Homo-oligomer: A and B are copies of this chain.
Amino acid sequence: MFYIIDILGTISFAISGVLIALNKRMDAFGIIIIAFVTATGGGMLRDILIGNTPVSWMKNMTYVYVIVATTIIAVFIKRKIDYLKTPMFLFDTIGIGLYTLVGIQKGINLGLHPIICISLGTMTACFGGVLRDILCNQIPVIFRKEIYATACIIGGFSFFLLRKLQLESNLIYLISGMIIIIIRLLAVRFKISLPNVYKDEVEEVN
């Protein structure tokens, strides 16, 4: 079950990388690298920072095969990818929930402070996109119009709250994962975003 979510999430992330690389008119090598970094970058950064090396994707060929296959297919059907938007958005959202929990768990295994664990979770879920944007020479989207990060952070805090309540482990995962997914779905549905720190300046303009 976890495994299927992981693969579907990886596919969604890889496709989002392919789309941006095509948009930047990269060649075949660039496209595959961007797809790869988008899909694995968050976990790779986490592994580097905690010293879990060789990094995860080097020890599990499934990711490599899935990403390469996804990239090739995505390039061929690129004009029809619009039809995949809704399922991709769903897989992507569920994937983010899962990756956050994976990152948190890695931090717990190392005995790190809960806030650091939540940072690792958020990093796992969100920083593949940050690395992708750096390689594509643009300011990371997530720093300007935040989409996932707050959901991951709130989900992470719920995780440790539920843990204090000594709930059963699987239940903690399920609930905090669902919180991340629901917050993101609601945020996108109702166009909720972080409070605007530039509000006062805009008011002045008026």
Interface residues of A (CB under 8 A from B): 21-22, 24-31, 33-34, 44, 48-51, 53-55, 58-59, 61, 64, 75, 110, 112-113, 115-116, 130, 134-140, 142-146, 149-150, 193-198
Docked CA distance A29–B22 (Å): 27
* Beyond A22-B197, A25-B144, A49-B55, 18 additional pairs, beta carbon < 8 A: A21-B143, A27-B143, A27-B193, A27-B197, A29-B142, A29-B149, A30-B143, A33-B143, A48-B53, A50-B53, A51-B53, A54-B116, A58-B112, A59-B112, A61-B116, A75-B197, A135-B139, A135-B143
User: Whole-angstrom distance from the CB of A161 to the nearest CB of chain B?
Assistant: 18
- A54–B50 CB distance below 8 A: yes
Contacts of A50 in B (CB 8 A): 53-54, 58
Docked CA distance A149–B36 (Å): 15
Central interface residue in A24, A54, A138, by most chain B CB within 10 Å:
A54
Central interface residue in A21, A25, A27, A33, by most chain B CB within 10 Å:
A27
User: Whole-angstrom distance from the CB of A117 to the nearest CB of chain B?
Assistant: 10
Central interface residue in A28, A130, A194, A196, by most chain B CB within 10 Å:
A28
User: Whole-angstrom distance from the CB of A120 to the nearest CB of chain B?
Assistant: 8
- A34–B143 CB distance below 8 A: yes
User: Whole-angstrom distance from the CB of A60 to the nearest CB of chain B?
Assistant: 9
- A30–B144 CB distance below 8 A: yes
- B30–A142 CB distance below 8 A: yes
